[in-house]
Amino acid sequence: MISVRNLEKVYGSGSTAVHAIKNANFEIEKGEIFGVIGFSGAGKSSLIRCINLLERPTSGEVIVNGTDLTKLSTDELRKARRKIGMIFQHFNLLSSATVFDNVAAPLKLNKAPKEVIRKKVSELLEVVGLSNRAQAYPSQLSGGQKQRVAIARALANDPEILLCDEATSALDPQTTESILDLLLDINKQYNLTIMLITHEMHVVKKICDRVAVMEEGQIVEMGSVLDIFSSPKTATTRNFIRNIFDDQLPEGFLERMQHVPGSRIVRLTFIGESTGHPVLAELTEKYHLKPNILFGHITQIKDTTFGYLVISLTGEAAVLDAALKYVNERGVRAEVIHHV
């Protein structure tokens, strides 16, 4: 659906040039929700704005449905952009127009007949749950309602792609949840491809299928959200995940552990069905070990249950090796994160 190749974006030139995107390469499949996460200034907005050419790439290709958008004439680009909706952190609504007229604006631009506009706007307001606010002005709406209007407007031309730049960053946690639920709904209902930019890992965790992690203009890590959560490769990714699960061992704990030779601290990672395995009981029954639970966390990553437990085990090395091998074979990943 979207294919980005060797994309570079440099703002300005000479000594003040800012290299905002460095050799980005990725594909987004039809119907996928693809997240891009990174700290402020990482280049996320630059990247998403290059997808619909709001920002023209310095070099590289942006191929949407087989067409390289960078090669199109102004007129062709305008047409191609109708199939790419976009929403922003600050909603960007017309303050002097009603909810109805905001949603109708893209249709009016295309000179759609009045009756078609009326029907389409009503349908979209129904989808975003604002049918009874059609005549309200943006100043009379809450932040979440404004974003719903912006989503309805972005869907007016039946886009195939929706770009979301920090669409929930100005909203409180509860409203964020409801907007993310709405994005999930329209993704399913219209098989809409969604690319979303965020600096919040819980947004990625809740709705994305895959995610790219950006740092200083570069994509430093990319993969399925489950893979990124279960085995993050870079410090930046680990930092983002830590906002959700804090798995740092207290200093004092490791100190005390030095006095228990033969002990290991093990992280058990459970994904999907493996969350149902009674591995701790098996460690006790089969290997006569006494696992001590230090901490754990279980959560939902989109449609899959994901959890981990950090335990300490003490025993003979050969027994511990065999026990951990057994656990791994049962589909629960066991990693020794510290041993004495």
Ligand X SMILES: Nc1ncnc2c1ncn2[C@@H]1O[C@H](COP(=O)(O)OP(=O)(O)OP(=O)(O)O)[C@@H](O)[C@H]1O
- Tell me which residues touch ligand X (CB under 6 A): 11-12, 18, 20, 38, 40-46, 199
Q: Is 46 in the site for Mg ion (CB under 5 A)?
A: no
Q: Which does 109 bind (CB under 5 to 8 A by kind): ligand X, Mg ion, none?
A: none
215 alpha-carbon distance from chain centroid: 15
219 alpha-carbon distance from chain centroid: 14
Instruction: Provide, rounded to whole angstroms, the least separation between the CB of residue 262 and ligand X.
Output: 47
Instruction: Provide, rounded to whole angstroms, the least separation between the CB of residue 241 and ligand X.
Output: 18
Binding residue for Mg ion, selected from 45, 145, 236, 263, defined by CB under 5 A: 45
Instruction: Provide, rounded to whole angstroms, the least separation between the CB of residue 25 and ligand X.
Output: 17
Q: Of the two residues 9 and 133, which places its CB atom closer to ligand X in the complex? A: 9
CA distance 330 to 279: 8
Q: Of the two residues 13 and 248, which places its CB atom closer to ligand X in the complex? A: 13
Q: Of the two residues 127 and 197, which places its CB atom closer to ligand X in the complex? A: 197
CA distance 11 to 25: 19
> DSSP character for 50?
H
Residue 289, φ and ψ in degrees, nearest 5: -90, 160
Could you give the C-alpha distances from 286 to 66, 266, 273, in angstroms and in order? 57, 18, 21
Q: Residue 245 corresponds to which tokens in the numbers above?
A: 């699960």
Q: What's the one-letter identity of residue 72?
A: L
Cβ atoms < 10 Å from Cβ of 71: 11
Scanning 38-46, 208-216, 294-302, 303-311 for contacts with Mg ion by CB under 5 A, the matching segment is 38-46
Residue 158, φ and ψ in degrees, nearest 5: 50, 60
CA distance 183 to 231: 27
Contacts of 64 (CB under 8 A, 6+ apart): 1, 2, 3, 51, 80, 83, 84, 161
Scanning 37-45, 93-101, 117-125, 133-141 for contacts with Mg ion by CB under 5 A, the matching segment is 37-45
CA distance 31 to 13: 38
Could you give the C-alpha distances from 140 to 84, 132, 136, in angstroms and in order? 28, 13, 6
Instruction: Provide, rounded to whole angstroms, the least separation between the CB of residue 209 and ligand X.
Output: 21
- Count the site residues for Mg ion by CB under 5 A: 1
Q: Of the two residues 82 and 199, which places its CB atom closer to ligand X in the complex? A: 199
Residue 5, CA atoms < 13 Å, CB-side half-sphere:
9
Q: Of the two residues 11 and 253, which places its CB atom closer to ligand X in the complex? A: 11
Q: Residue 144 corresponds to which tokens in the numbers above?
A: 């979440």
Q: Which of residues 179-238 bind Mg ion (CB under 5 A)?
A: none
Scanning 44-52, 63-71, 134-142, 178-186 for contacts with Mg ion by CB under 5 A, the matching segment is 44-52
Tell me how far apart the 2 most distant CA atoms of the chain are, in Å. Answer: 80
**Inter-residue contact 179 to 168 (CB < 8 Å):** yes
Scanning 41-49, 183-191, 226-234, 294-302 for contacts with Mg ion by CB under 5 A, the matching segment is 41-49
Q: Of the two residues 33 and 47, which places its CB atom closer to Mg ion in the complex? A: 47
Q: Of the two residues 44 and 133, which places its CB atom closer to Mg ion in the complex? A: 44
Q: Which does 46 bind (CB under 5 to 8 A by kind): ligand X, Mg ion, none?
A: ligand X
Q: Of the two residues 42 and 266, which places its CB atom closer to ligand X in the complex? A: 42
Instruction: Provide, rounded to whole angstroms, the least separation between the CB of residue 60 and ligand X.
Output: 15
Instruction: Provide, rounded to whole angstroms, the least separation between the CB of residue 189 and ligand X.
Output: 29
Instruction: Provide, rounded to whole angstroms, the least separation between the CB of residue 237 and ligand X.
Output: 15
Q: Of the two residues 35 and 43, which places its CB atom closer to ligand X in the complex? A: 43
CA distance 37 to 321: 37
Instruction: Provide, rounded to whole angstroms, the least separation between the CB of residue 190 and ligand X.
Output: 26
Q: Residue 113 corresponds to which tokens in the numbers above?
A: 């007949």
Q: Where along the sequence are the contacts to Mg ion (CB under 5 A)?
A: 45
